[in-house]
Amino acid sequence: MKQLQDAQARLMQSEKMAALGALVSGVAHELNNPLTAVIGYTQLLQLRELDDDVKRDLQRIYDGSDHRRKNTDPFPFRNDSQHHRMRARRGIVRL
């Protein structure tokens, strides 16, 4: 009987952890969507001929957004080139 109770407790804990993982993943996704847009538009603006002050401000926006994106990455141990290739394969990155 004790073994059954232990197995049920482990199963319950496992289900809780799975639910928490799904919640955290959803939050990260919701944060990354607008960050991806900010990063993309910032990169497009950086291609234009702009004043140095504006370029500096755009770089700050890009750096801050990219830093936040990296903090919410669901796969933090993968390098950036792998991350972008995976996102491109999924169709997440649109040019």
The number of distinct structural domains making up the chain is 1
In a domain, 62, yes or no: yes
Mean pLDDT, residues 5-27 taken together: 88
In a domain, 95, yes or no: no
In a domain, 58, yes or no: yes
Name residues whose C-beta falls within 8 Å of residue 87's C-beta, 6 or more positions apart in sequence: 93
* Residue range(s) defining the domain that contains residue 31: 2-90
In a domain, 81, yes or no: yes
In a domain, 75, yes or no: yes
pLDDT at 85 over 70: no
Band of the pLDDT at 95, cuts 50, 70, 90? very low
Cα–Cα distance for residue pair 9/30, rounded to 1 Å = 32
Closest CA to 32 of 18, 56, 90, 57: 90
pLDDT at 94 over 50: no
Give the per-residue pLDDT at 33. Answer: 84
In a domain, 67, yes or no: yes
Buried b (16+ CB within 10 A) or exposed e, 32-68: beebbebbeebeeeeeeeeeeeeeeebeebbeebbeb
What are the tens digits of pLDDT across the range 24-74?
Answer: 888 888 888 888 889 999 999 999 999 999 999 999 999 999 888 887 776
